[in-house]
Amino acid sequence: MLFPRQFACLSTFALAASLGAPAWAEEAADDEAPIVVTGERPSVEISGTKTGTAAIDTPQSVVTLGRERLDDQGVESLGEALRFVPGVTIGQGEGHRDQVILRGQASTADFYLDGLRDDAQYYRPLYNVQQIEVLKGANALLFGRGGGGGVINRTSKQAQLGRTSLGASGAIDSFGGWSLAGDLNLPVSENAALRINGTYENFDNDRDLFGGHFIGLAPTLTLAPADGTRVVLAYEYAADDRVIDRGVPSLGGRPIGGYDQAFFGSASVNTGSVDAHIARIRIDQELGEGLTLDVTGQYAFYDKQYANLLPGVATASTVSFSGYEDTNTRSNWIGQTNLVWKGQTGGIGHTLLVGGEISDQSTGATRRNVLFAASGGGTAASATLPLAQSFSFPAISWTGLVTNGQTKVKSRSLYIQDQIELAPWLQVIGGVRYDRFQISAVNLLTSVPSARTDNKWSPRLGLVLKPQENLSLYASYARSFLPQSGDQFSSLNPTFQSLEPEAFRNLEAGAKWDVKPGLSLTLAAFQLDRSNTRVADPANPGFWLLTGSSRAHGIEAAVAGRITPQWQLSLGYTWQEGEIRTATTAAPAGRQLDKLPHHQASAWTRYDLTPRFGLGLGVLHQAGQYATISNAVRLPAYTRIDAAAFFDVSDKFALQLNVENLTDANYYASAHTDNNIQPGDPLNVKLTARLKF
């Protein structure tokens, strides 16, 4: 159940909004100048809802990061952008992929591009992103399996009809990293336009031996062949080559001190590359009488290889190493259709969504392990070396393949949802999704096949009360599921093929207040239960019970928008906690969920002192958190301060200076295991120049 103090917070928020809103509403009505909403925007339409519903009418916590906010902070990767979203923590991802923790649930697969799944393990760039949407809580009705803690949806830039524009930027930082980017929009005809986005990024930071580069290219073609018809053809290519950095080990229950710049690996071995191709076609058609149809098809292909040496247990004078090499190829075919009707029956308003999705996925994965030359002859799977700022490894060789598997996933889904406006002050949202999820796998080393089919129903129910147009109080219930093969489905253990999927249940209550145009306050209290988690059957060795469970709950509050035309502000705070309630294979009951700091707070503000000059300031605070579910290693709390200055030299040329970690705070940003902990970057200065025509 949600705690009384959480409901008390919501009640206080609602009372304050009810008392204060009329004055704000009057001020907004008298303000004739349009206010452009920039930065973090919790009250715009959310494309991830598939119905274009405004955030104030969406019964769940949603945060959007607009293009202006991403540019102002000078961020170029998804993980960097999400650090300023309270309730989201970042996993280290083994140094080669995005990994987020939403409401205590870690995922490498709950990522979407324009509402379609983008679930391969790689770092996602932002050069072609118009907006990032963080939809928290179970989201199976709209997105299917997984998404127990929430999903991350990126909306891409699209070609604009009847507009010619050119933008270019270049940036360089004090570590030696640099980037170039371009954005060209050209009308091809009266009813067609082409847009091309491209970037080159060269990576560097304070860590010894780290480096790499990224190339991205994204052309889109927009067509309007007839009134009410829109066709978008899009393609994105991403090539990422980098040194794989697994961070530092721990000692005495915390990250080891004095080695924040030391690279615990080998620059010649710790390498990774990803080539990703995503092609998409979307057709939007207005059918009249409030009825619209969209049909989308997507093909994606990912080719990935990485290898690493990684630190293990450390003492005051030594550290152990092991290592492995992985290859992974994946192809995804996705087709999605949505029919949306906005209208009335008998004076009752409806936003009705009926949709379906089909997807086929094929994955091939291999692994082999590192062997170190042993001093007495032969080889060993691990090596223990003197603790140092740099390491000289024994001669390295590789085992034969220790895993070699192929998996195929087929998913067929139907869903329906209706947002019913019974009165101007009352909306009821209800819907359900049916998924038929089939996974088949074969271990090519043993020729042993495995297969499982799940037929799951995922309901969603919400209630929105609107005592006035700019204020909503809501409550919601939603469920999601995740097959026991994990979120990547790169293998299926024959032992697990008989087990039911894990289940997620999200309860949430909240309030949203559009204080005035362009400024919103939000508050949410949530409880997320995860069940059907595996635990070994003590009475039958080799068999499993699905009795494990965990719970996370908390409060999220945010204010975002423009206080005045010159002043943007974004504030966010999350209190949360989570624990294992009944024993799982990972931990006994009572353990605290990892990567779940009790307190998170963030602030970002920009104030334009003149029409051409502005200043920005950001503060990020995160309480201490456990590195893993072992609860043996704790990452210390930290506070980071960022700053920025903006100068429009002319209407076409602008300079921007960003300072990350202004006070040079020593902190640890993320972890993957108890001995793979990523130090945060020290003070870093980035200079960006922008051109627009």
How many C-alpha atoms does 612 have within 13 Å on its Cβ side?
8
| Residue whose structure tokens are 């996925």 | 361
Kindly tell me the sign of the dihedral angle through the C-alpha atoms of 68, 70, 71, 77: negative
Interacting residues of 294 by C-beta distance below 8 A, sequence separation 6+: 282, 283, 284, 285, 337, 338, 340
Phi/psi of residue 5, each to 5°?
A: -65, -30
pLDDT value of residue 433: 96
Hey, is 547 helix, strand or coil?
Answer: strand
Residue range 517-528, pLDDT digits in tens: 999 999 999 999
| Residue whose structure tokens are 């994105």 | 236
How many C-alpha atoms does 575 have within 13 Å on its Cβ side?
7
Interacting residues of 407 by C-beta distance below 8 A, sequence separation 6+: 361, 362, 363, 365, 439, 440, 441, 489, 490, 491, 492
8 A C-beta contact, residue 270 and residue 245: yes
**b/e per residue 206-237 (b: at least 16 CB within 10 A):** ebbebbbbbebbbbbbbbbeeeeebbbbbebe
Hey, is 70 helix, strand or coil?
Answer: helix
In order of 149, 534, 541, 585, 686, the CA distances from 538 in angstroms are 30, 12, 6, 12, 56
- Across-strand partners of 306? 272, 326
In order of 118, 405, 456, 479, 554, the CA distances from 430 in angstroms are 27, 40, 17, 12, 24
Hey, is 138 helix, strand or coil?
Answer: coil
In order of 103, 401, 463, 497, 507, the CA distances from 553 in angstroms are 8, 42, 20, 31, 9
Interacting residues of 15 by C-beta distance below 8 A, sequence separation 6+: none
8 A C-beta contact, residue 310 and residue 323: yes
| Integer Cα distance of 211 and 313 in angstroms | 26
209 token code pair = 């031996």
Question: Could you tell me the maximum CA-CA distance found in the chain, to the nearest angstrom?
Answer: 86
pTM reported for the whole predicted model: 0.91
pLDDT value of residue 45: 60
- Across-strand partners of 233? 221, 281
| Integer Cα distance of 637 and 598 in angstroms | 10
| Integer Cα distance of 187 and 221 in angstroms | 10
- At 120, which CATH number? 2.40.170.20
In order of 7, 47, 95, 306, the CA distances from 43 in angstroms are 22, 12, 34, 41
| Integer Cα distance of 157 and 280 in angstroms | 13
Interacting residues of 547 by C-beta distance below 8 A, sequence separation 6+: 533, 535, 582, 583
Query: DSSP string spanning 16-59?
Result: HHHHHHHHHHHHHHH--S-----SB-TTSB-GGGSS--BGGG-S
| Integer Cα distance of 337 and 294 in angstroms | 6
The burial class, CB within 10 Å (0-12 / 13-18 / 19+), for 29 is exposed
- How many domains does one find in the chain? 1
| Integer Cα distance of 671 and 519 in angstroms | 35
How many C-alpha atoms does 86 have within 13 Å on its Cβ side?
30
Q: What share of the chain is helix, strand, coil (3-state, %, to 5)?
A: 10, 60, 30
Per DSSP, the chain holds a count of helices (H) and strands (E) of 4, 38
Structural domain boundaries, residue 409:
4-692
Phi/psi of residue 43, each to 5°?
A: -120, 10
The low-confidence residues of the chain, meaning pLDDT below 50, are: 1-43
Q: What is the CA 55 to chain-centroid distance, rounded?
A: 18
